[in-house]
Amino acid sequence: MLSRLQELRKEEETLLRIKAALHDQLNRLKVEELALQSMISAREGNVTVSSAPLMEEHQNMDNETAINQTKLQLQMHVRGEEEEEEEEEESDS
């Protein structure tokens, strides 16, 4: 039971690191998107249009995708562990 708790804590730490890395990447992409939009607007001579609603929509889609991907990974990980435990029990018998 204690080892399972330790495994879950390690997994949580890993997931938190992944989440932070993805969040950083998302921020970099947003900045790059704004820079590109600014360059396009400058070339066209247009007035800069706020992209906040567009960015919010993308962020919501990204969050939903990330959540779904995380759920899938966790389900696969749990299934793999369950199969390993079953194999260990069978080999112990």
Residue 45, Ramachandran bin (φ over 0: left; ψ between -120 and 50: alpha; else beta): left
pLDDT score of 44 more than 70: yes
First to last CA, the chain: 20
Provide the sign of the torsion angle of the four alpha carbons 77, 81, 82, 86, taken in this order. positive
Residue found by looking up tokens 């609603």 in the block: 53
| Largest separation between any pair of C-alpha atoms in the chain | 77
> pLDDT tens-digit profile of 1-42?
889 999 999 999 999 999 999 999 999 999 999 999 999 988
The confidence score (pLDDT) of residue 61 equals 57
> pLDDT tens-digit profile of 46-81?
654 555 665 565 566 567 777 777 777 777 767 777
